[in-house]
Amino acid sequence: MSICRFRFGTTSAVAVIAMAVPSTAVAHSDATAYLLNTVVRPGYHFSGPDDALQYGYGLCDDVAAGRLYGQLIGKVKVDMQTTDEYQAGYLINQALNELCPAQIWQLRQSAAGYRPVLEP
């Protein structure tokens, strides 16, 4: 029986350790995913992809400006002419997740403790 022995130098050991340590994930935007998840979905009345992207980036700007989650829900419900809380939240989440993922933390902070308004 033959046993192979390898000698690892310091450089090899550092390279192996560096590969084992996870790197910080960088958030990237994905306009195509946003469009697929919103334009194709019924209930959003965008005139086309450019209109949908403009609206999504507008939501990103609102979050960056400090607008609260409840305010965003109200805005989307009015703009999309719906009372559906889920539909409004879905659009906001798609915009932030796909177009400006670096702002997700800020959105989550503003949504903490949010309670939907019950429709009569």
Domain range annotation of the chain: 33-38+47-111
Query: With bands split at pLDDT 50, 70 and 90, how would you rate the model's confidence at 119?
Result: low
Tokens of 111: 């949504």
- pLDDT tens digits for 6-28? 454 544 444 444 444 444 444 55
How far are the Cα atoms of 5, 89, 103 from residue 85, in angstroms, in the given order? 63, 6, 21
Confirm if 80 and 43 have CB atoms less than 8 A apart.
Answer: yes
Q: What is the mean pLDDT of residues 104-117?
A: 90
3 versus 39: which is more confidently predicted?
A: 39
Instruction: With 0.75 as the threshold, say if the pTM is over it.
Output: no
Please state, in angstroms and rounded to a whole number, the distance separating the CA atoms of residues 22 and 32: 27
pLDDT on residue 36: 87
Query: With bands split at pLDDT 50, 70 and 90, how would you rate the model's confidence at 45?
Result: confident
SS3 state at 18: helix
Please state, in angstroms and rounded to a whole number, the distance separating the CA atoms of residues 114 and 85: 12
- pLDDT tens digits for 65-103? 999 999 999 999 999 999 999 999 999 999 999 999 999
Please state, in angstroms and rounded to a whole number, the distance separating the CA atoms of residues 13 and 59: 47
SS3 state at 84: coil
Confirm if 37 and 77 have CB atoms less than 8 A apart.
Answer: no
101 versus 45: which is more confidently predicted?
A: 101
Q: Which of 63, 66, 75 is nearest to 101 (CA)?
A: 63
